[in-house]
Structure formats: structure tokens, C-alpha cells
Structure 1
């Protein structure tokens, strides 16, 4: 992010401890105003604790949290310019949809009258495309509609930042995709900062302007979705973001902007350094990652014009609809994953379990990085 870009959220050396357990440590980051930012990581990585400190449900043990440029040290949740949408929508079952949405307006200062509250609730319903649903009860709505009501309730107060704590986790895949598009549309229309916590990398990649990948209470890398996929900082990021064939080894030498890595099997691979792999040096431990869609596959007797070629046999063939994934057992590198587009995987080009095949890629298809 440009240093001159205004930030709606800023963490300065933030540490959060629960007794002797450090949940997050020395977090320093900023979220650009009006952007869609995601915290991505596995369970226990610290992403929800980070979100709760933004919301005010938790206070940092040390360090400073700023919202819209102002420190919020000691400011309770209800006085912060943020709203949160939870995984479980927490709608009041005895209230109508309109009453649920208007509930938070009661605590505004000055408090709007009832007529204004209902008008604002109707406007929020129109924003999430649920006009005419105001008099229904939550039990009369589908899961996706309840999700939209929860969003409307959070947006009606016009917060500076909207926090989303895995809000799509309970939805089926098709509805989740629809709601991802809906969230993107809403974020662009209202123009406020959205912050999403998720363990679903596809969800984060498809919606975010920027993503922070977290592990063990620390941010490993913050970048755009494209940068995370195409230039991961570490082996962990390469493995967590998308699929990757990972070849660990020791750096033999650096050649310009490339690295030569000797694997545990004694074979040498060459690959360009990613921008974050510039710290690699001779004799250091490193990794080369090759994405499955960049690996070619052909019959075992076929010639292949690729710089790295390996013999193997098909151990698994997984049909994914728009592509087919092959897991090929090679003597040199163990399992190598190959992903073939649907239009290329048919007839004589399809391989069954046990088929002898050749897989390969060019040096330029690899990504060299630190472990």
C-alpha cells in the first residue's frame, strides 16, 4: 500500500496475550481506506483475535490500534465506528426483519424516531435486495436471506469499517459463491472498508484487494491475491494459497536472478527467484514450487519439449468438472500433481489409474523461496 494512502485500520506493534499464551505478536499493518482486506489462515493462527481487537471485544496487551487515524485504546466496542457480521447471524427470532435491522439505531446519538428507523431499515433492505421482506420473521427466511439481513443490520449504521467473521461458512457452495459476489457489489456501492476473516483461500482470493496470511499469531505475508499466488514469500504461503508441487532442498548456487537447488534425492532444479526469495544464499535451505496447471503430462513413450521431465505412473485421477487432476508417482520426486483443462483431457489424452506417463515443466514455471 502506498504510504500516503489514508488507512482506516492500523496496528502498531500489537501483542495480545491470554495469561502466558501469546495469541498474536508484534502485528504491524495498515488497511487502506475503502478496500476489501482479508485475514487468511488455519485455525488458531490469530486471525479472529485480530478481528476482535479491531472491534473492541478484546484490548491489546501491548501496542496501539488506530481506526480512521485515531487511537481506540480503551474505547469499548459500542463506541467504535465498526460493525460486525458473525458466522452465526444472531438475529432476534421474535422481531421482524425490519425490527432486527433497526435495532442498532436505538443506540445512536441522537436517536432517530421510529419512523426514521423503519425508513432506514427499508433502505438497508433495498441495498441487500430484500425489499418487501421487512415484516417477515427470521425463521421465514432461507440461510442466504438471513445472511443478507445480518449484512443490512451491520450497514444501516453506516460504519467506517465492516468486520466479517467467516460469515459464509454455514452456506452451501453455490450460495456461498452468490454471496461472495453480493459482498463485492455491496462493498463497491457503499465504499466502506470491509475486513474478512476466513480459512477459505478461494473465498479470500476471489473477493480481496489485499490479504494477510497468518500463522502462529504472526503475519507471514500481506499482498494482493495475484502476488500471493505468483510470488509467495515462503513455502507455507505457497502451500496454503492454491495447490503447489513443493521441492525442498539446499541452494547450490545463485545464477543471476535464478537459483539452483539440490533436492534430497540428489537432483538439481533451476528456478527464478521470487521477489521475496532474494534472501536465499548458497547452502541455505530453500524450496521450489511449481503450480499444477503449469505441469504438462503425456504418455510415457512420448517426447516432451520441457526443461524438466520425469517418468512416472498415474496414482490418482480426480475429475473436477472444469479440469482433471492427476497425481503422478515419480521415482525422482515422489508425487507430482498435474491439472489439465477439461478440453484437453479426453479420448487419447486421458490417462487412467496405473498408466505410464511423463510429466514436465520449464525452469521459468518454478518459484524459488525460503522455507
Structure 2
């Protein structure tokens, strides 16, 4: 595995700036998640690292070596696309074996068999090894696509929303397995998603992208607790952070225009009146939807609360985040 460095990467398509001076270090052995909405530049960043696209300016380095002029094959990276790309005329086993049968690797057949069987068991497709790829469901095809990358030992794994087509249970299972595989192998992994749960549960580092710019690069906990802006704050956290005018509560700094309140930042029992508009019982917790001075807020409360819609409770901020007129955090 290897450290990956992006130095001032810029890329435009038909006059649109897809990446704007992006610099980032993906540490050796890290699980880095790129997070942002469609069009933020996540997939373009992967394509810069893989060599599928070339930057207009800037440089990509893998393992201390410049990738300028090197093809994807020469970079020794493994990529999983959002749309599974399998060989339809081959069986699942043959698809998984394919990367290991490269003349460059010269992998013995017994080693190939052992690796394929291990990965197939992890991905829950052992019973499908002799099926043709065309006989699989969409979720099974994506698991094979992931497996074809995992059987290799590249410098870095690149994954573009690989779990998006799977059902909820399998997606949750594979999140755990992918993280376990990465942690045990020490693999360097650059992973694209818009799913904040994947970012929070798997990443050692998160890169928040917005309109081609890298807004913040830090651990998931740091971005959750110490976001640099409202935009970064809204990328992580479920339910989303509440953002309301700062003057709704006393004690705001002079330059504060907005106050950010995570659900756990809204203390109940003292303060000002808020009306309960909806109660969501989710088993391990209950979410309260509130109306406060014509603004909607969401907070959490005891799982067994007896509060109902229409009741009034008192609330006040607890360790809120403050933002200026441009949406930047005031420290």
C-alpha cells in the first residue's frame, strides 16, 4: 500500500471547473471517504488518481512517485465503479480470478483459488461462484465487482459508491466487512459516497467537497464536532444540524449570524417555549420535531418519552456552533 498525494489538482470539462486547486494527502493505510452531493467533484478526484483522466494542472503522487504520464495499469490501482463492470460471458469465479491471472502477477493457481474462496465467503457469494455473471441480481453483480478489486494487492483501492445498489441489510453488513478488511490488511482506500452513515462508520479521514473545492479534510468526529462552515456541518449528522438565526437565543457572539444546533445540543427542561409538532419513535431513541419562534427544530429525547404532538417544552442551546454571514464557523 502507499501514501497518495494530490497537489493543486485542477480539472475542467467544457468550461466547467470540476476540481478547483484540490490538495490532499491520503495517508498510507488510511480509509479516506470523499463526501459531497452530485457534482461536488468526488468521482473526478478518483479518476485523477486512477489515471482515467488527466488533470489540467497539478500532480498526483502515489508512494512518493509522480504519476504523470503513467497509464492506469502502470499505476497499480484497483477501482470499483458505481456501475458494476463484469465480463458477462464468464462465471463469477472467472470474473474474480481475472485480475490474478495477469501475466504481470504470475499468481499460482492454488493461491488464486484460496483468495477467490476467501473473498467470495466474505461477500456472501460462495454459492454463486459457478453462475454466469448475467444470471446474478444487481446486488450480486456489485458484490462480484467489489470482490474483483479485493482479490488484488494494489497500491490503493478506489471505490465509487460501491454499496449504493445493495439492500439496506447487505449494505450494513458490507460496511463492516469492508472496514474489517481494510483494517486487517492495512490497505489504503479512497472511497466516494454521498451517504454520511458510510462516512461516519468507515472513514479514518473524510474529505468534504463542494463545487470542486476541498472544504475540510479531517476525521469524521472532528468534522462533526468542529466543522469549518455550515456546509461542512450539514454533510455529517443524522438528523441534520439545525441552523437558525443567532438572535433567537441569547449569548451569541457579535459577528454571529447563524447558530448551529446538533440534536444533542438542544437541552430540554429550561429556557424558552417550543411546541412539539411530531414525535418519531425509533426504538433506541425518539426524535422530537419542534416549532420554535416559527422555525423548525429536530432534537432527540428519551426513547420512552410520553410527549405528544401539541405539547409545550422548554429548550435552550448546549454547546452550540456559531457561524458568520458567509457561513464560516466562528471559533
Scaled by the length of structure 2, the TM-score of the pair is 0.88
Residues 292 and 337 in structure 1, CA contact (< 8 A), matched pair in contact too: yes
Gaps of 5+ in 2: none
Give the structure, 1 or 2, with the largest relative contact order (CA under 8 Å, sep 6 or more).
2
Change over 3 Å in CA distance of 1:77–1:83 after alignment to 2: same
Gaps of 5+ in 1: 1-5, 250-262, 272-281, 298-303
Q: Distance in 2 between matches of 1:176 and 1:341?
A: 28
2:241 is the alignment partner of 1:244? yes
1:342 alignment partner, one of 293, 303, 314:
303
After TM superposition, list the pairs within 5 Å mapping 1:316-355 onto structure 2: 316-331=278-293, 334-343=295-304, 345=305, 349-352=306-309, 354-355=310-311
Q: Distance in 2 between matches of 1:342 and 1:191?
A: 39
Flag as ranges the 4+ runs of structure 1 deviating above 4 A.
110-120, 126-133, 139-145
Q: Distance in 1 between matches of 2:48 and 2:278?
A: 45
Question: How far is 1:118 from its partner?
Answer: 4.6
Deviations 1:90-128 (A, max 9, x none): 222321112101222343425457676555534543565
After TM superposition, list the pairs within 5 Å mapping 1:197-276 onto structure 2: 197-242=192-237, 243-249=240-246, 263=247, 268-270=250-252
The residue aligned with 2:313 is 357
Change over 3 Å in CA distance of 1:65–1:232 after alignment to 2: same
Q: Distance in 1 between matches of 2:198 and 2:119?
A: 24
| Higher mean displacement: 171-180 or 24-33 | 171-180
After TM superposition, list the pairs within 5 Å mapping 1:268-307 onto structure 2: 268-270=250-252, 284-297=255-268, 304=269, 306=270
2:144 is the alignment partner of 1:187? no
The residue aligned with 1:368 is 322
Residues 233 and 369 in structure 1, CA contact (< 8 A), matched pair in contact too: no
Deviations 1:190-233 (A, max 9, x none): 21101110001111111000101110101111111111111111
Q: Distance in 1 between matches of 2:138 and 2:183?
A: 23
1:67 alignment partner, one of 62, 66, 86:
62
Change over 3 Å in CA distance of 1:110–1:92 after alignment to 2: closer
Residues 38 and 204 in structure 1, CA contact (< 8 A), matched pair in contact too: yes
Change over 3 Å in CA distance of 1:176–1:310 after alignment to 2: same
Q: Distance in 1 between matches of 2:155 and 2:122?
A: 17
Computed over aligned residues only, the root mean square deviation of the Cα atoms, in angstroms, reads 2.5
SS at match of 2:200: helix
Change over 3 Å in CA distance of 1:237–1:340 after alignment to 2: same
Scaled by the length of structure 1, the TM-score of the pair is 0.79
SS at match of 1:342: coil
After TM superposition, list the pairs within 5 Å mapping 1:124-143 onto structure 2: 124-125=119-120, 128=123, 130-131=125-126, 133-139=128-134, 141=136
